[in-house]
């Protein structure tokens, strides 16, 4: 009986470890230098205005960190050349087109990817679903302070998306209003925030699961031999 109780307890612990990542959507990683979004399986650079302090050798970026869309892509390329935080696949956030979840300012539905409540895009998801901010307000005033504290230098302003609208325009998201739209690629007063697909940290949970799983298998094997 005790043998089966031990196995049951071990199985329960294994279940707890397997379910741990689902308990938090935004997880601080790499000693606070990045934040992993478990919902989207993407990792954000924790400094939402890293370009103001690190241009990665790219000229033409404004002192406050704003830049044109072409400069934003050049900055991302410089970041990847520098293998920032050990990775060379950073990119600008993507925009879902079309996004039928978008609304007008009054909450009525839209049929394109412009407007508010556009949670299909990576920045829209961050603003509404993770920070819990509301349309027509700044993320800094209505966003969850605990989640915001995992980042630094979040700007109540517009950020470039890596998604193009056409040859002259690209998508963007405004963290001061929660709005999504397009703007000229030559507009130089827009910020850039780097993200990458996947988890940047070496998550110890899979190793722990393997150890617990191995122990469980071992106990099961011992139980069979003692019969």
Contact 116, 179 (CB under 8 A): yes
Digit-coded pLDDT (tens) for 64-121? 999 999 999 999 999 999 999 999 999 999 999 999 999 999 999 998 999 999 999 9
Answer yes or no: pTM beyond 0.75. Answer: yes
Identify which has the larger pLDDT, 57 or 217.
57
How far, in Å, CA of 154 to CA of 150, rounded?
10
Residue-level pLDDT at 201: 86
pLDDT of residue 17: 38
**Range with the lowest mean pLDDT among 19-28, 83-92, 157-166?**
19-28
pLDDT at position 150 is 98
Q: What is the pLDDT of residue 23?
A: 57
Whether the per-residue pLDDT at 215 is higher than 60: the answer is no
List of residues 6+ apart from 45 with CB closer than 8 A = 33, 34, 84, 85, 90, 193, 194, 195
156 vs 12: which has the higher pLDDT = 156
Mean per-residue pLDDT for 165-181?
98
> Residue 159 pLDDT more than 60?
yes
Among candidates 44, 71, 31, which has minimal Cα distance to 55? 71
Q: Phi and psi for 213 in degrees, rounded to 5?
A: -65, -40
Which residues lie closer than 8 Å to 70 by C-beta, 6 or more apart? Answer: 185, 186
pLDDT confidence tier of residue 130, bands split at 50, 70 and 90: very high
pLDDT at 24 over 80: no
Q: Which residue has the higher pLDDT, 96 or 206?
A: 96
Q: Give the mean model confidence (pLDDT) for residues 21-48.
A: 91
Decide if pLDDT at 39 tops 80: yes
Dihedrals phi, psi of 18, to nearest 5 degrees: -65, -35
């Amino acid at each position: 009986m005790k043998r089966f109780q031990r196995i049951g307890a071990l199985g329960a612990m294994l279940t707890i470890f397997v379910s741990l990542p689902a308990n938090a959507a935004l997880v601080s990683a790499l000693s606070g230098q990045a934040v992993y979004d478990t919902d989207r399986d993407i990792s954000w650079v924790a400094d939402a205005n890293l370009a103001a302090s690190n241009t990665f050798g790219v000229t033409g970026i404004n002192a406050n960190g704003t830049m044109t869309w072409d400069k934003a892509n050049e900055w991302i390329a410089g970041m990847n050349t520098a293998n920032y935080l050990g990775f060379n696949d950073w990119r600008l956030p993507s925009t879902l087109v079309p996004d039928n979840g978008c609304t007008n300012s009054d909450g009525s539905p839209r049929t394109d990817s412009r407007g508010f409540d556009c949670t299909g895009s990576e920045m829209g998801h961050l603003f509404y679903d993770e920070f819990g901010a509301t349309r027509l307000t700044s993320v800094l005033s209505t966003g969850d302070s605990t989640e915001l504290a995992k980042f630094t230098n979040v700007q109540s302003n517009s950020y470039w998306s890596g998604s193009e609208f056409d040859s002259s325009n690209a998508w963007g998201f405004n963290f001061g209003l929660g709005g999504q739209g397009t703007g000229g690629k030559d507009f130089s007063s827009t910020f850039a925030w780097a993200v990458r697909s996947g988890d940047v940290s070496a998550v110890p949970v899979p190793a722990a699961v393997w150890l617990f799983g191995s122990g469980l298998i071992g106990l099961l094997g011992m139980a069979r031999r003692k019969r």
